[in-house]
């Protein structure tokens, strides 16, 4: 269930969580987003709030949605990439689309088998 706290409390935590999940440091996010590393630091501490444009750039750099960063959804699962992939796959012929879907399923099944049981 999405967070019920105001976005100004959620955003700093979500930004840091997404950055760490992607294995990136603040300088990496700065380079990917075109935003200064000091600004990334201020966003993560809650000292500054990003503009809409910076929010979009951060989401794109971290491959998450703005909704995740703002606490409107808890799904961090690379939704931004999935949206791009879906748009591209829809342009393929049916046979090619089915091939890609089968390939993705086999890759996810393989990855699931490699994960250690908790």
pLDDT digits (tens, 9 = 90+) for 38-58: 999 999 999 999 999 999 999
Rounded distance between C-alpha atoms, residue 97 and residue 43, angstroms? 40
Helix/strand/coil for 35: coil
Instruction: Answer whether residue 62 shows pLDDT above 90.
Output: yes
pLDDT of amino acid 117: 53
Rounded distance between C-alpha atoms, residue 53 and residue 9, angstroms? 19
Q: How many CB atoms lie within 10 A of CB 12?
A: 19
pLDDT of amino acid 109: 86
Provide the whole-model pTM: 0.64
Cβ proximity of 14 and 20 under 8 Å: no
CATH class of 7-70: mainly alpha
Q: List the domain boundaries for the chain.
A: 7-70, 79-114
User: What is the sign of the dihedral through the CA atoms of 48, 49, 51 and 53?
Assistant: positive
How high is the mean pLDDT of the chain? 85
């Amino acid at each position: 269930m999405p967070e019920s706290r105001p976005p100004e409390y959620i955003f700093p935590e979500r930004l840091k969580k997404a950055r760490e999940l992607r294995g990136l440091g603040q300088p990496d996010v700065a380079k990917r987003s075109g935003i200064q590393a000091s600004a990334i630091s201020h966003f993560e501490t809650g000292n500054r709030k990003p503009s809409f444009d910076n929010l979009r750039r951060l989401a794109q750099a971290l491959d998450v949605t703005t909704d995740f960063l703002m606490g409107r959804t808890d799904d961090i699962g690379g939704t931004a990439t999935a949206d791009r992939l879906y748009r591209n796959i829809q342009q393929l012929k049916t046979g090619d689309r089915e091939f890609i879907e089968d390939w993705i399923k086999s890759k996810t099944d393989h990855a699931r088998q490699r994960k250690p049981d908790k």
